[in-house]
Amino acid sequence: MAIQISSGGVSKTYRYYPRDAFYVDASGNVNTSGQGQQVREAYFNGVKYYPEAAPTFKYIGKYVDTPRVYTGGYLNPKDTYYPNVTRCVYSEDSLSAQNMQYMGSHEDGSLLPKELDLPICTRIDSDVFMLNALESIDIPLCTYIGEYAFRGCTSLKSVNAPIVPLIYGYAFMNCTSLKSVNIPQCVELKELVFRGCSALESIDIPLCATIGARALSGTGLKSISLPVCEYVNGFDSCLSLESADLPSCTTIGTDAFNGCTALTNIDAPYVNLLRDGAFSGCTALTSVNFPICYEIQSYALAYCPALTDVHVEGAAIVGKGAFRGDKNLSNIYLPCCTGIDEYTFWECTNLASLTIPHGCGVDRYAFNQWGTRPGITINYI
């Protein structure tokens, strides 16, 4: 954001950044007299503004082998606005003659700004900002974020990347202060992208179609809406997650919501496959509605002791241990089932009746380790 500020008949353009003061005169006014210290900051309605002047180099990044400084010297940690940077790189010899700037590999981020404003940057390669002290990132035109790009940036609080369609694995892993992420046009999140971002409370991904394994594992999300996502994965151990809106989902991946202990119900009318461990350990889950689900794989709904209301009428294949440990499950209706595998209902101590079609095989050890089914009535239809 730029603003014109006038003083003593002189007008200058300043860009706003919420950082510590560089210089202001004794009265808190803009000094344009040409006397004293050079003007580097202005106050306007109590807010500090900085001059528009910014670095002109095209690339910023690190060099793997030895620290090198290319044209322009080290980055100034006070510079936050880089209007000419099109790409952030880690190590590419081909760019050494193209005004690439060495950022330094200091883990304390001493050579880096806290706010990174890259208005025309289209690509951030792997590892570039890993383990640095950034607090916010604004990359409105970025189309690609590489592996480990911001991994371990424990001061990072917000990410604004409205156009980025692809984020590779581990890109923001263990950014423990990250609270909000705005990536509304992201189509694909690879594996472990936000894993360990325990403070993450909100993420905007309405167009995301693919979520990799453990992409948001261990985050602080309370709700998630995935209106176009067909293959849902990556929310295991989200201990605060209470609701998930999955209107287009057809497959829920392996361990997708494993250990989401605050999740209470799931309604996904188009799901046809629950992979291994999909909801295992969801201790608050009371109801699930998968009316056309064809296959429930091993332990997909296991260890959900609060589960009482189950709608999986279309399930033909029920895998090993699928409902194991669901202690409050009393009745189960599986009119399309072709076979009940071993361990399927182990530790389901309140199970009273099971309805299955004629010809559906029931493994000897489906109900307990002794090969019996005490108090359980099987109804054949």
**69 or 226: whose pLDDT is higher?**
226
Q: Are 111 and 74 in contact (CB under 8 A)?
A: yes
Band of residue 85 on the pLDDT scale cut at 50, 70, 90: confident
Instruction: Please give the angle made by the CA atoms of 117, 122 and 128, to the nearest 5 degrees.
Output: 70
Per-residue pLDDT at 80: 67
In a domain, residue 333? The reply is no
Of the candidates 221, 243, 269, which is a domain's last residue?
Answer: 221
State residue 185's pLDDT score.
93
Is 339 part of any domain? no
DSSP per residue, 276-294: TTTTTT-TT--EEE-TT--
Instruction: State the first-to-last Cα distance of the chain, in angstroms, to the nearest integer.
Output: 69
- Residue 76 lies inside a defined structural domain of this protein: yes
Is 60 exceeded by the pLDDT of residue 95? no
pLDDT at 94: 53
What pLDDT sits at residue 78?
Answer: 55
Position 71 confidence tier, pLDDT thresholds 50, 70, 90? very low
Same domain, 46 and 144: no
Is 197 within a domain?
A: yes
Same domain as 47, residue 58:
no
Mean pLDDT of 90-111: 51
Read off the pLDDT band of 117 (50, 70, 90). Answer: confident
Q: Please report whether residue 208 resides in a domain.
A: yes
DSSP letter string over 193-241? SSTT-TT--EEE-TT--EE-TTTTTT---SEEE-SS-SEE---TT-TT-
The predicted model gives 297-309 an average pLDDT of: 96
Higher pLDDT, 61 or 123: 123
| Tens digits of residue pLDDT in 29-40 | 544 443 333 334
- Please report, for residues 20, 218, 225, 257, 358, the alpha-carbon distance to residue 238 in angstroms, rounded to integers and kept in the order given: 36, 5, 14, 8, 40
Average pLDDT, the chain: 80
pLDDT value at 204 more than 70: yes
6-19 pLDDT per residue, tens: 554 445 554 443 33
Return the pLDDT at 184: 93
Domain extent at residue 151: 54-221
Calculated CA dihedral for residues 14, 16, 21, 26, nearest 10 degrees: 50
Contacts of 97 (CB under 8 A, 6+ apart): none
Task: Check pLDDT > 60 for residue 293.
Answer: yes
pLDDT at 23 over 80: no
Whole-number pLDDT of residue 376: 84
pLDDT at 155 over 50: yes
Share of the chain above pLDDT 90, in %: 55
> Poorest-confidence range of 15-24, 140-149, 164-173, 225-234?
15-24
13 and 112 part of one domain = no
Residue 118 has pLDDT above 60, yes or no: yes
Question: What single letter denotes the amino acid at residue 80?
Answer: T
Degrees (nearest 5) of the Cα angle 71, 73, 78? 130
Determine the average pLDDT of the residues in 201-215. 92
111 shares a domain with 44: no
Predicted local confidence at residue 72, as pLDDT = 37
**Residue with structure tokens 């609080």?**
157
157, 176, 200 from 224: Cα distances, Å: 19, 19, 12
Determine which helix (DSSP H) or strand (DSSP E) holds 60, and give its type and residue range: strand 59-61
Q: How far is the C-alpha of 312 from the C-alpha of 291, rounded, in Å?
A: 5
Task: Note the residue count of the chain.
Answer: 381
pLDDT for 256: 97
373 found inside a domain? no
Burial class (CB in 10 A: 0-12, 13-18, 19+), 325: buried
Q: How many domains does the chain have?
A: 2
Domain boundary among 190, 221, 252: 221
Is residue 255 pLDDT above 80, yes or no? yes
pLDDT for 98 beyond 60 = no
CATH number at residue 209: 3.80.10
| Paired residues of 380 in beta bridges | 356
pTM of this prediction? 0.79
In a domain, 72, yes or no: yes
